[in-house]
Structure formats: C-alpha cells, structure tokens
Amino acid sequence: MTDTALLIIDVQVGVVDGELRAARLDSVLANLNLAIARARERGYPVIFVQHEEEDLPHGSPGWQLHPGLAREEGDACVGKRYGDSFCDTGLSALLTDHGVDRLWVGGCATDFCVDSTVRNAVSLGYQVTVIRDAHTTLSAFDLDAEQVIDHFNAVWSATRATPEPLRVVPAAQLE
C-alpha cells in the first residue's frame, strides 16, 4: 500500500484535442507523462478519470483517453458524469482501498473539473499537490486559456485555509 496516487482528469481526445485544442497541450502531455513515470517509480497508483455526457458518450472516439498519455495495463479508470471526480463515482473507495491520503492532480479542465476535484479532495482531507504545468483548459468567457491556467495556479498557491496543505509544483519537482 502507498499513501499517494496520481489522478489525471479528463485528458480525453474530445476534451483536449477535439474541435478545439486545449492550451499548452503538448507540454501538458509531456508533464503528465513525467508525473506518470515518477508515480510508477514510487509504486503509486495512476488513476485516469473519464468524463461522459450526451455530447461525449461512453466508448465514443472522443471519450477515449488521449493516445499521448503513457498508460499501462492495470491503471485504474474512473468514469464520471459531473465536474467533481468524487461525485457519484467510485474514486473515494478506490483511494481508500489503496490507502491513499495524498494526491498528485493534473488534467483538464483547469477551471471546471480539475478545480472542483481539487477543492473537494481538500475538503475530504486529502493532501493535494496540483501539478502546475500538467493541467489545461480551453479559452472561455473573457479570458484566454493561458490566463485561466495562470490564474488558477496563483489561486491554488495562495490557498492556506485548508485542513491539509494544498501545494502547486511543476512535474519536475514532484516528490
């Protein structure tokens, strides 16, 4: 058993490389693969979360995990229908089964699924490390995706009122 798991949220073809391409996608994939390698070196479970909804049906080409991810047989996959990866999923049970109380988190979308999962994980008592250079999003509203990513890295870095520390570090500094 280990105390840490790597959680990769919604890095699916139709989410990050579909009609629109997510910001910094090539570097995000490279940094997620670095995080995957570091997790595997330490024996940490690697867990992929896949979103599904009417426009992204389970099993469809767009629903598939991005082929640029360094997946291996035996990696866990968790399906979800809401932004928060814990909401109505088996994620909590899976983490409990592995004895996990610390998470490394990356994926898409920074401002929706990653943020809601990070905030809920902190509320549930997990010590969370957001991988600063391994999450992405699309441009939305009045901000471009680059601004959104930088904004959330700053917000998470400044967050102090949490039961466990919320850390934001680049993939190369994961420990």
- Return the ∠ at Cα 51 (arms to 3 and 10), rounded to 5°: 60
Judged on CB neighbours under 10 Å (0-12, 13-18, 19+), 89 is middle
pLDDT of residue 143: 87
Number of domains in the chain: 1
Q: For residue 122, give its domain range.
A: 4-173
DSSP string, 116-144: HHHHHHHHTT-EEEEEEEEEE---BTTB-
Task: Dump strand ranges (E) for the chain.
Answer: 4-9, 46-51, 76-80, 102-108, 127-136, 166-169
Asked if residue 128 lies in contact with residue 118, where contact means CB atoms within 8 angstroms, the answer is: yes
pLDDT of residue 163: 87
Spell out the per-residue pLDDT of the chain, length 175, in tens.
579 999 999 999 999 998 899 999 999 999 999 999 999 999 999 999 999 999 999 999 999 999 999 999 999 999 999 999 999 999 999 999 999 999 999 999 999 999 999 999 999 999 999 999 999 999 877 889 999 999 999 999 999 988 888 999 999 999 8
Q: How many CB atoms lie within 10 A of CB 71?
A: 16
pLDDT of residue 140: 76
Residue 136's nearest CA partner among 152, 156, 157, 117 is 152
Q: How far apart are CA 105 and CA 35, in angstroms?
A: 9
Q: The domain that contains 46 carries what CATH number? A: 3.40.50.850
